[in-house]
Amino acid sequence: MSAEAVIQTRNLSKTYRDFWGRPKVRALNSLTLDVNRGEIFGLLGPNGSGKTTTLKLLLGLLFPTEGDVSVLGKPAHDVSKNERIGYLPEESYLYRFLNADETLDFYGKLFDMPSKVRRERRDKLIEMVGLQNARRRQLKEYSKGMTRRIGLAQALINDPELVLLDEPTSGLDPLGTRDMKDLILKLKEQGKTVVMSSHLLADVQDVCDRIAILYAGELKVVGNVADLLQSQDETQILSSQLSPEAVQEVEAVLARHGATVKRVSHPTSTLEDLFLRTVEESKARPGRRFGPGEGPAAKS
Amino acid sequence: MTTLQLPYDLLGGVLHWLAAVLVVCAVGLFVGMVVSLLTVGPRGPGLVVDVLQRGLHDMLHMSARRIGAIASLTMKESFRKKAFAVLVVFIILFLMAGFFLRNPERPDDLPAKPYIAFVLMTIRWLTLPVALLLACWGLPTDIKDRSLHTVVTKPVRRSEIMIGRFLGYGAVTTIFLLVMSLIGYVFINRSVPELSQPQLVSRVPVYGSLTYLDRNGEPGEGVNTGDIWTFRSYIEGLTKAAAIWKFDNLDVERLKQHDGLRLENRFEAFRTYKGVIGQPIMFRITLVNPTKKLRVTNGDLVKGVAEFSEERQRSAALEEDPAAESFGGLRTESTISIPRTITYIDVSGDRGGDQAKTVDLFDDLIDGNSLTVEVTCQDRDQYLGTAQSDLFIRLPDRGFASTYFKSIFTMWLMLMLICLLGTTASCFVKGPVATLLTFSLFMLGEHLRPQMDHLLKQFNENDRQVLGGGVLESVYRIVLQMNPSQELPDNPAMTIMQWIDRRVFDMLGIFRNVIPNFEYFNTAAYTANGFDVSWNTALLPAIATALAYLLPCVLLGYFSLQLRELEAK
Ligand SMILES: Nc1ncnc2c1ncn2[C@@H]1O[C@H](COP(=O)(O)OP(=O)(O)OP(=O)(O)O)[C@@H](O)[C@H]1O
Ligand SMILES: [Mg+2]
């Protein structure tokens, strides 16, 4: 791999301290990690495992207790690196008294963009995140998902090289989740590097090239998703219109070859698939209702 | 002698400021080095240098657009969070003010002063909390809501955040102040009774220096008539005692554009006997040109003292008004018009008998560009109270708006300073603490500074001692019920105690230098009394004081934000 590390951490540790400087929580312990240019990197781990802490350390929002960070070749505390970074915080920490247009304009100004560029980018991003109808409403009236969307638009205002997304899909409806994943893949196509944190394995599995799994501040696993998920000693057979007799025959054949059949079942689509297709179908043919077994799901 | 009208020493102030800033920086650097050594070991000083370098870089690479963005965000925030409710309070106060101010029995008879004072005070005490609360709560709320997180992940310098916030609060406060001051101006003009309307002026005084001749005509001091307030010195009637004002650096060409000269006095009378009812104590004005040996006076330059302050104010303002004559039945005039050509009897009598002569005020009596005015008391055994500011040349008046808005301007400077201090404080402490801190600074600067000045003056002039001792010594004396003049026992404990007390005084001296002198920003008294707010004595010090805090505060705010993990809850 022609790997150029965009992010490098070396023995990065973070201990949260209280007002008096007494250690409270060791949130991150000796993390050594490289993220390469152009890849989608997933930070996984249960709640409280240190994902957000890691991202904040990368951004210089937190100061490391030990270890070093370099982002885009600069130390984390260097503000000039932020020119090329987009960050979507865990919850969208935005100004609730601004409307969508003003929000994007404000962040655009922080990048010192001239007003023409700001207007263009703003319109494009609002369209992209699907907030055209709410652009003049104050953010305090927004639903959670809408806030996430404007948060994302804000993160992309500077057309960043490196995008840090903290739980990008949280609070989004399945359609939004799908859009988000598509968007992340599109960012990758454009040659950008994406680091996202999540504890939703399905999300990560769909989009990430490489993942790291954190547990209680420690790095447990890091590697390629495909490699990590593939189990070499299992085979799945998928077929249609197989009669029970045929199944018995197949089992017999497998037994002859010394393999044991663990489970024979009909494949189910995930709930996510079902929901998605239902919504898609409903959009195409409004007013129709699907009963069990006849909807779009049954067709696959 | 009490000399009140001292022009502000700008150069001295700047040097003092430089010294203070250098000392503070040096101390800050030293403390930073020590702290860094203690916390991160030998790597520490290097980090400090690094932080300073980054600081310098950040200071030099600020973007006006980013600062503007943060400032306008701040303004939007204030207005959308309904900070303008204060204006409603303000207007309600004004609607009701009429009830309190008016004298129901004689509704037309109230001087302008209470109206002006009321308006200026109301504006001051309504805008002050607005500035204070806005500036002190903004950043901490921003940090608490973590909206600042998103901002600092953009290429924003922390100095831009600090300056943008300050400018934003400054702008909001400015808008409030503008609206309020306009309403206040209209209110004053409409509510001040007809009779007092002429008091709405801006008198422009030129002050002189004052010396005395004693009763034998020798240079000396005035008499103390037993008043505890030593502001005025008294001269005895019909003796050689005189008060002599010398007005220097007069702009003669400008004076010449107006025929004659106006003097205004605020003398007081001290009566040793009652005298004739309705007859004021009289004084005589003599214009002196020592070079040409001219001493000019005549009957027109003998005037009565306006013995009550209200009467004084009224007669000063109503100079051209015939009502002044009838006021209280007294023939008192605060304003003395001196015509350009003066006829007088020359009593020096080189050529025998007295003879009437005329002189030209500007050509003959003004010596170079200074004018000497001698005042004597014309009533035997009565006394005339005089102070330096009691006699001044009254230049042509300016409109009331000029003094009113100058007062508003100094108030504006004060509010800007409050915004600045509040924003700075909120960079390192939370809202309530920042508010308390800023307000304490304000109270210290406005009310306690004079006390400190007094104590320190005593300390420095008195061989580094204060009567009754410093903190520890006075506690000691109180507990042992020793009076201040009693000698302390001579032992090492006492020596140590006094040593500590002196250090406390030294600290106080340093501390005092850091506290802004908020008294400079209160020029309401000038306006309320119908005086101009002069550049030299009032505007300049206010401007200098406000500016002096700009750079240190920005630096302090920047480094506090920079060195602080904004995550802290
Ligand atoms: N400001 C803070 N002060 C003290 N402890 C903190 C702070 N922020 C996070 N922590 C602690 O640090 C640990 C890691 O937190 P972090 O937010 O990084 O977890 P996370 O992996 O992002 O979890 P989640 O999936 O819930 O978002 C937790 O134990 C948390 O309690
Ligand atoms: Mg998190």
Closest CA to B429 of B165, B39, B48, B137: B137
- Tell me the CA distances in angstroms from A292 to A267, B70, B172, one per residue in order: 16, 55, 61
Check residue B314 and give its pLDDT: 58
| Mean pLDDT computed over B252-256 | 85
Assess whether pLDDT exceeds 50 at residue B356. yes
Instruction: Give the pLDDT of residue B286.
Output: 93
- Write down the pLDDT at residue A71: 92
Residue B348 confidence (pLDDT): 63
3-state secondary structure of A142: coil
Contact B569/A at CB under 8 A: no
Tell me the one-letter amino acid at B475.
V
Which has more confidence, B329 or A169?
Answer: A169
Distance of residue A92 Cα from the nearest chain B Cα, in angstroms:
8
Asked whether the whole model's pTM tops 0.90, one would answer: no
pLDDT over 60 at B320, yes or no: no
Residue B568's pLDDT is what? 56
3-state SS string for B6-42: CCCCHHHHHHHHHHHHHHHHHHHHHHHHHHHHHHHHH
CA distance B151 to A59: 12
Among A29, A49, A56, which residue has the most ligand 1 atoms within 8 Å of its CB, making it the best to mutate? A49
Q: Which residues of A are less than 8 Å from B80 in CB distance?
A: 97, 138
| pLDDT value of residue B329 | 35
Q: Which of A14, A61, A140 to mutate: most B Cβ within 10 Å? A: A61
> Residue A292: what pLDDT?
40
Is ligand 1 within 6 A of the CB of residue A151? no
Q: Quick one: average pLDDT of B375-381? A: 92
Cβ–Cβ gap A61/B566 under 8 Å:
yes
**Which pLDDT score is estimated for B5?**
54
Mark the ranges of chain A whose per-residue pLDDT is less than 50.
Answer: 1-2, 290-300
Phi–psi pair at B444, nearest 5 degrees: -60, -45
Report helix, strand or coil for B71: helix
Mean residue pLDDT of chain B comes to 84
pLDDT at A157: 92
B234 or A77: which carries more pLDDT confidence? B234
Comparing alpha-carbon positions, the chain B residue that sits nearest to A114 is: B65
**Residues B14-66: tens digit of each pLDDT:** 888 898 889 888 988 898 888 888 877 788 888 888 888 888 888 888 889 99
**Which has the closest alpha carbon to B418: B14, B74, B136, B72?**
B136
pLDDT category of residue B324 using cuts at 50, 70 and 90: very low
**B325: pLDDT strictly greater than 60:** no
What local confidence, expressed as pLDDT, does residue B103 receive? Answer: 65
Determine phi and psi for B350, rounding to 5 degrees.
Answer: -65, -40
Q: Which is higher by pLDDT, B478 or B489? A: B478
Contacts of A61 in chain B (CB under 8 A): 149, 152-153, 565-567
Specify the residue with its C-alpha closest to ligand 1, atom 6: A16
Probe site for chain B from A95, A98, A104 (most B CB atoms < 10 A): A95
Quote the pLDDT of residue A253: 85
Q: Which residues of B are less than 8 Å from A107 in CB distance?
A: 150, 154
Arithmetic mean of pLDDT, B225-237: 87
Q: pLDDT grade, residue B312 (50/70/90)?
A: low
Task: Enumerate domains of chain A plus CATH numbers.
Answer: 5-93+160-230+270-298 (3.40.50.300), 236-265 (no CATH)
CA A4 to chain centre: 22
